[in-house]
Structure formats: structure tokens, C-alpha cells
């Protein structure tokens, strides 16, 4: 596909230009096992994880080199009549069918993904929420804006591409509706797509039906997909010790950060006060340093007493001044 598109599409100014090129390749019909061939732009993605999370179903074997790459979801009543799982269980059970490659003529594994009871417990037929889009930082937006400004000028003159980039990075391009999964996952008018050329040889394995893989001799065989309930791992002594070390390290870091912040606060306070006393009170640097040290100590003690005191409400005559006599706060130099 990549070679075919590169020979016919030297540049694409918009997403639609690229989608059309992909669709033209799919229309050539070279992939015989892909009866529905359609290239789309996916602007929104349904939040399937949250939608199914409360069921507590955990899937294994669907990742890695030997994992299946093609998945089909359909109800049991929609399976081919020759399928071994056709007459088992409830007609509304959701069956997951897997095969390793799109070129494989038949699905290699079938298993019950959701029972009819679990299906009835779902809050809605489809997820009502969408996954959030990645947030574009200001730095990234500025970079795209500069790039768009560059390509719309000579010698590129790609004005459509610049317009497309600006509308995309500024979130002003109208989003296409989410994918209609009913049209993608269920092919009622293409029944022969799901009819295997021969009856599947199914082996029962923990309520999962697995057929013999059809990988070529030079390809690795497909690993079976399994479903199970999520388990909460018990805390082991090793894990507890690791968690304790992490917590102690976090506490030490918090204390160090607090000490550093206090040191910066003390340095700024003393520097400003010493500068004020030497310039406006005609004190020597030594005397100013002594006054600043004592003033900071009193400030810390007062702050500590304020935090320990019970909160109280201000009355209508309280102006917020800490002096009981209502006079503006002054620095009593005689006290030093």
C-alpha cells in the first residue's frame, strides 16, 4: 500500500487528499479477505475502556508479535450455521473472533466476550463519552503556525495545506462524527465473509474455543486470547518494603524542599531589611544584620503561633491590622 500511494501521491495538502489516495488503493480490490474496504478520518474515539471497565473482564494474549491482528465482535445468533458455537449458550451472547492476519481466509479463534446478562447490564448500547484529545502546548501551536506561514509562501505556495494546519492546531476544523461501529463490526449483507471454507476444529479451553492457527510455515503461530476476572494482588513483604522505602524517600524530599524554601525566604527577608536599614535608618551593616536576624526570628514565631491558634472571624471594626492599638505597624528599633 505504501509503495502504491507514494507513486501516485507526491504530496497531500489536506487530510482529505490523503484519505482519497488510500481509498483509491483499497478500491483496486487486491485484498480479497477485506470485503468492506473504506478509508476514513477518525476525529473522535469512543471511550470503550470506561464503558466496559465495571465488568472486570481482563484480556490476555492480544499483544505481542504472535498476537491476533484482526478482531470481530458479533452476537452468537449472527455466527454462520456451520460454526460450532452457533447452538451454544444464549443467542445474544457477544462472541469475539480472532485471526492473525487479514489475509487469513478463516478466523482462528472464537470465545465468549460478554454473556447476555453482562450485555444487559451495560448502561448503554454504545459508550456515551469520547476519549479526550491530546492537549497541544503553546510551544507546539507556535511551531505549527510558523510552519504554516512558511509553506503558504513562495516557493511552496501550499495555501490549502497552511489553512488545514491552522484549522487543526487551533481546533477550528469541524470534527467528523464518530465511527459507526454497527457498520464496521456487523456485516449482515456480507455473510460469506464469515463463513469459513471448512468447519472450524474447535478445542474447548477454559470456556474458550480455539481453532488451529493458519500461519504460513515462515510465520509464528497465533497465540490464543484468554479472558478472566481482574484480580487484586496481595501485598507481599517485598512490595511492602519497596512501598515503605518510596514513602520514606518522598518524605525526605518533602522535608528538603521545605528547608530550601525556608532558606530562600530567610535570605530574601534579611537582604531586603538590611538594605532598608542601612539606607534609611543609617545603621551599620553589622547592626542591620543583627536586627534582621532578630526580626526574622520574631516573624517565624508569630507565624507559628498564628497557625496553632484557632481560626476566628473578623468583626466589622477589624481592619486586619495585627497591632491591637490600631496604629500602623512600625519596627521598634529600641527593642534591639
Q: What share of the chain is helix, strand, coil (3-state, %, to 5)?
A: 40, 10, 50
Tell whether the model's pLDDT for residue 191 goes beyond 60: no
- Which position has the higher pLDDT, 216 or 282? 282
pTM of the full structure:
0.47
Look at residue 264 in the predicted model and tell me its pLDDT: 82
The phi-psi region of residue 133 (left if phi > 0; otherwise alpha if psi is between -120 and 50; otherwise beta) is beta
Residues 126-180 have pLDDT tens digits of: 788 888 888 899 999 999 999 999 999 999 999 999 999 999 999 898 888 887 6
Kindly state the DSSP code that residue 309 receives in the 8-state scheme.
Answer: S
Residue 303 CA, distance from chain mean position: 43
Three-point CA angle 278, 328, 280, nearest 5°: 15
Residue 295: how many other CB atoms lie within 10 Å: 18
Q: Scan for cell 500602623, then name that residue.
A: 328
Confidence (pLDDT) at 220: 58
What DSSP state is assigned to residue 334? G
**Above 70 in pLDDT, residue 124?**
yes
Residue 274 has pLDDT above 50, yes or no: yes
Task: Answer yes or no: are the C-beta atoms of 304 and 290 closer than 8 Å.
Answer: no
Among residues of the chain, what percentage have pLDDT more than 90? 15
Average pLDDT of the residues of the chain: 75
Three-state DSSP at 273 gives helix
Amino acid at each position: 500500500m505504501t509503495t502504491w500511494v507514494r507513486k501516485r501521491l507526491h504530496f497531500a495538502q489536506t487530510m482529505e487528499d490523503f484519505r482519497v489516495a488510500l481509498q483509491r488503493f483499497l478500491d483496486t480490490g487486491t485484498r480479497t479477505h477485506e470485503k468492506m474496504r473504506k478509508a476514513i478520518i477518525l476525529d473522535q474515539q469512543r471511550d470503550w475502556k470506561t464503558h466496559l471497565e465495571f465488568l472486570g473482564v481482563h484480556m490476555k494474549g492480544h499483544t505481542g508479535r504472535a498476537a491476533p491482528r484482526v478482531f470481530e465482535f458479533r452476537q452468537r445468533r449472527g455466527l454462520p450455521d456451520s460454526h460450532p458455537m452457533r447452538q451454544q449458550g444464549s443467542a445474544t451472547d457477544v462472541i469475539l473472533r480472532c485471526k492473525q492476519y487479514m489475509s487469513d481466509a478463516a478466523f482462528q479463534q472464537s470465545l465468549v466476550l460478554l454473556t447476555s446478562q453482562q450485555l444487559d447490564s451495560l448502561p448503554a448500547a454504545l459508550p456515551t463519552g469520547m476519549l479526550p484529545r491530546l492537549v497541544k502546548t503553546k510551544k507546539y501551536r507556535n511551531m505549527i503556525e510558523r510552519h504554516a506561514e512558511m509553506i503558504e509562501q513562495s516557493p511552496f505556495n501550499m495555501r490549502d495545506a497552511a489553512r488545514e494546519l491552522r484549522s487543526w492546531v487551533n481546533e477550528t476544523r469541524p470534527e467528523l462524527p464518530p465511527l459507526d461501529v454497527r457498520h464496521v463490526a456487523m456485516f449482515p449483507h456480507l455473510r460469506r465473509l464469515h463463513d469459513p471454507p471448512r468447519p472450524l476444529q474447535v478445542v474447548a479451553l477454559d470456556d474458550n474455543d480455539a481453532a488451529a492457527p493458519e500461519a504460513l510455515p515462515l510465520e509464528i503461530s497465533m497465540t490464543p486470547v484468554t479472558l478472566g476476572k481482574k484480580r487484586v494482588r496481595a501485598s507481599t513483604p517485598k512490595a511492602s518494603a519497596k512501598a515503605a522505602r518510596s514513602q520514606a524517600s518522598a518524605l525526605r524530599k518533602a522535608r528538603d524542599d521545605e528547608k530550601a524554601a525556608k532558606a530562600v525566604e530567610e535570605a530574601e527577608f534579611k537582604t531586603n531589611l538590611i538594605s532598608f536599614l542601612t539606607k534609611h535608618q543609617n545603621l551599620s551593616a553589622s547592626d542591620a544584620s543583627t536586627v534582621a536576624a532578630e526580626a526574622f526570628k520574631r516573624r517565624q514565631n508569630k507565624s507559628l503561633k498564628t497557625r496553632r491558634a484557632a481560626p476566628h472571624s473578623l468583626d466589622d471594626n477589624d481592619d486586619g491590622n495585627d497591632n491591637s492599638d490600631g496604629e500602623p505597624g512600625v519596627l521598634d528599633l529600641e527593642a534591639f
